[in-house]
Amino acid sequence: MNEFNPPRYLAPFESRSFPHLFTDVLVIGSGAAGLRAAIEASRHADVAIVTKDELKASNTDWAQGGIAAAIGPDDSADLHAEDTIEVACGLSVAEAVRSIVGQAPERIRELIDWGAEFDLDEHGEPALTREGGHSRRRVLHARGDATGAELEKTLIARLASCDRIRTLEHTYVVDLLTLDNTCLGAVIWSQTYGMTLVWADAVILATGGAGQVFRETTNPRIATGDGLAMAYRAGCKLCDIEFVQFHPTTLYVAGAARVLISEAARGEGGILVNKYGERFMEKYSPKKELAPRDVVSRAVLSEMHQTGDTNVYLDLTHVSAAQLSSRFPRIKELCSLFDINVSEDWIPVCPSAHYMVGGVWTEPDASTSVEHLFACGEVAWTGLHGANRMGSNSLLEALAMGKMAGEAAGKMSAATGEGKHQRPPEIKAEPRKPEIGAIDLGDVRSSVRSNMWRNVGIVRHRQDLQRAIERFRFWSGYVLERNFSDPRGWRIQNLLIIAELIAKAALDREESRGVHYRADFPESEAEPRHSFTQKPEATAG
């Protein structure tokens, strides 16, 4: 066996051996994709889920809109696929699109069988709404605008019935353990046990996105791009990471979290107006408020610049009070905390970073370019979204690809045979000299996020991107080489890595396509192309 090189993150700790844990399949992350993957993998193998917060703390829990599925009488998987491919602006993979949207009805039936309660229409059938890019009403929702929470609750309840799954909450995954382009497990850290090495036959990354790399984001504080950074360090191929979707309507009130105002609010009749009360979306798209999110985000930004205002407004005052209460109870309650009565007042909104469209490149079975490592959910690139994600396709993708990843990883472990848990090589960390000088991590975090928002945001330009990269490289010089001993420092390092990679990919793509808009290259290239990002040592091998 070749010599095993431990991750440098073990260096700050005194020279000693580390405790070991063994499992068949290790799932990193507890959103919809991770939970669905764990449930499926447990049919074939023992599974451990590691999550850095509580089991339910994820982007899934925050998701308001719904799950797209072609189950209406006037709909079909073919129509769903056509809409998805159109919104993807030439960069989706048709086979992947058809595979994922084709699973939708089955995944919905499965959720209902497991206890999910979707909102129903007057005939007792799932109520369907429409969002931007969809040509039919095909978005299911639960408790009005709490679909993600219902989904998370259902999957966690199902998880509890699987006796081959154990969970480790409040546990941070520091890095992946790899040897000869094969993933062997991960290094984890917790306040109680410190560093521990987890060995697994297969590892599934389901760590979500990286919205926190931007100053304005709908994502919770845990969305710091850790999985993307770990995959990059492990030598994984990343695909199209310059494509970051900005949600056009997030609540913009001083002191309020940048909580998204669901696209379904526009699907149910909400209109966008500027500070003069003028409806403006018809100037930018014949689809008006139901145009794809990238179009709406740029329109909102343009209107803000033209009016000199910090936001625009979402007008729901013409929607009935009963409809507002049944469809958007969370939004209504949130706005009321800031003395906004959605039946009478316009809601101040502006765009915020929302979803990583690109990610870790995967095959149809969710495997990555590193052996025994799988990825699903927002951290992964599957070929579904292309250059722009269509609303409510993300929860569907999480469920469909979570199942695929869990099945592939579980079967891989089951096929490994006896002796698979032989004791791994002894690993020790040698202490390094103490580092001189303290770093204000909060200031670094704020600087990274502000730099991304100003220079790598909704509208991009060569000079801005070059300026952003220069600053990232300067900060990296004294942050990435420093030895931290707790998650605060590791998260900042991951943010820095992903921020620079996104900016570099955005600089290299000299065209405008989907959510990536270059003011200096406003046209799309004739031939759509994917971009790939990989650690230099990995490509050299």
Residues involved in catalysis: 293
Helix (H) or strand (E) holding 294: helix 293-307
CA distance 363 to 257: 36
CA distance 197 to 507: 38
Residue 217 and residue 276 in contact, taking contact as beta carbons nearer than 8 Å: no
The full 3-state SS of 220-266, as one line of letters, equals: CCCCCCHHHHHHHHCCCCEECCCCEEEEEEEECCCCCCCCECCCHHH
Residue 148 and residue 61 in contact, taking contact as beta carbons nearer than 8 Å: yes
CA distance 242 to 387: 9
Nearest to 202 by CA among 427, 428, 24: 24
Measured in degrees and rounded to the nearest 5, phi and psi for residue 258 equal -75, 70
Helix (H) or strand (E) holding 173: strand 172-179
At residue 46, what is the residue type?
D
Helix (H, G, I), strand (E, B) or coil at 500: helix
Spatial strand order of the sheet with 67-68 comes to 67-68, 139-140, 128-129
Q: Are strands 20-28 and 47-50 parallel, antiparallel or unpaired?
A: parallel
- Report how far Cα 108 is from the mean position of its chain's Cα atoms: 21
CA distance 304 to 288: 17
Measured between its terminal Cα atoms, the distance across the chain in Å is 18
CA distance 174 to 226: 8
At residue 321, what is the residue type?
A
